[in-house]
Amino acid sequence: MMIRTKTAPFLRTEESVGSMMRDMLLALAALLILPTVHYGVSVLKLAAVSVAACVLAEIAGCLVAKREINISELSPMVTGMVIAAMMPPGAPYWLPAAAGAFAVLAARIPFGSTGHTPFNPAAAGLAFATVFWPGEMFRYAQQSPAAALKAGLKPEAVPSEMLWGLTAGPVGTTAALVIAACGLFLFVRRAANWQIPFWFLVSAAVFAALFPRILVPPLTSVKYEMLSGSLLFCAVFMMTDPVTAPRTVSGGALYGLLGGILLMLMRRFGVYEQSAGFTVLLMNAAAPLIDGAVCSLQAERRRGREKEE
């Protein structure tokens, strides 16, 4: 806590952007443990390729833009790890490399580096890969629960089996319990705020209970929707990105609520079985508007109150 600066305050908390990103990386790395046990070392190679692609793209981009190369805050690596976690286990190595390069070169470098990106780079990279190579992005050994639900079928796995990541799906997103534990770690360490995922999951769950995609009781529908696909992962690791999410507390709640509904609508009416990347991108676009609206609303309410006084 004792950190020196030139001006007051002379004490600052030790938390920094670097430490937040480090926690994020740690949580993302923990997600890869179970898949490595299931699918072998190829998962780790996938992650390594993805991270390397992002870091190299960052360095190349900075060189071209004649900007100082600074990867000490680790955010390109976080982007790489998020992309890796969203890849299918047997993905060819060029797929995460392409997604990572697009994420950094198209969604990060042109806007300036950390803190200035209007869209989550990882989400942009995933959307890019999904649009160009949907076949590769959703190729699993067996039918994934998300694909079954998309086809209007009941997944073969029961919800309790989906907790441990035994079902088909993107590498880092199938073990719901591990994601929940990582989420808890991030919230406790305050590397991510808990309000956005909370409201995101609440609205998605309510939507799933009200409009089940398959003929099951509402509660079963909620369980399947929550545990299938990348919903949980998206809630914890992508919606919480502070740069692209609203900064006000009530704005964050609105962002989460709308994001949950949007994701469920995409699952129902969209083309792809995974549309988390698109949801995040669309919500990112709305985030500044939400913040602006919340700020001016609060200001008006206060002005009204002051006039009354």
Partner 1 sequence: MISIFSGGVRLEQKKSRTMKNRIETLPAPKIIAVPLPGAQTSAQRCVREGDVVLRYSQLSMPIRNVAVCAPAGGKVLGIRAMPHPVSGTVDCAVIETDEAAGEIRLESPGMGAEPDEIIRLSAAAGIIDEYDGIPLFKKLKRFRRLKIDWLAANVLDDEPYVCSGLAVLKENRAAVRAELELAAAACGASERKIAVASEMRARHYARISGAESDMLVSGGGIYPAWPRLLREQQLHGRRPGLVGVQALAALYEAVEQGRPQVSTVVTVSGEGAKEWKNLRVLLGTPVGELLAACGAEKDAVAVAGSPITGGVVTDPETPVTADTRCLVVLPADAPEKKVFPCIGCGRCARVCPMRILPWYLQRQLQENRYPDPQKLYRAEKCCRCNACSVVCPSGLSPAEAVARAAEIKERG
Q: Which residues bind partner 1 (CB under 8 A)?
A: 1-5, 7-13, 15-20, 72-73, 112-116, 193, 242-243, 245, 247-249, 252, 295, 298-299, 302
In whole angstroms, the minimum distance from the beta carbon of 241 to partner 1 comes to: 9
Alpha carbon distance 47, 42 (integer Å): 9
The half-sphere exposure of 6 on its side-chain side, counting CA atoms within 13 A, is 0
* Calpha distance 69→59 (Å, rounded): 6
Rounded to a whole number of angstroms, the minimum distance from the CB of residue 234 to partner 1 is 19
Q: Please identify, using beta-carbon distances, which residue of 142 and 298 lies nearer to partner 1.
A: 298
> Hey, what amino acid is at 140?
Y
d(CA 277, CA 239): 10
CA torsion through residues 20, 30, 279, 220, sign: negative
Examine residue 88 and say whether the peptide bond preceding it is cis (omega within 30 degrees of 0). Answer: no
157: which DSSP letter?
Answer: S
CB of 298 to partner 1, least distance (A): 7
- Least Å distance, CB 156 to partner 1, is 41
- Choose between 47 and 107: whose C-beta lies nearer to partner 1: 107
Cβ distance to partner 1 smaller for residue 16 or 142: 16
Look at residue 193 and give its three-state secondary structure: coil
Helix (H, G, I), strand (E, B) or coil at 89: coil
Q: Which is nearer to partner 1, 140 or 198 (CB)?
A: 198
State the DSSP H helix or E strand holding residue 46, giving kind and residue range, or none if neither: helix 42-64
Burial classification of residue 183, based on how many CB atoms lie within 10 Å of its CB (0-12 exposed, 13-18 middle, 19 or more buried): buried
How far apart, in Å, are the Cα atoms of 174 and each of 34, 169, 170? Answer: 10, 6, 7
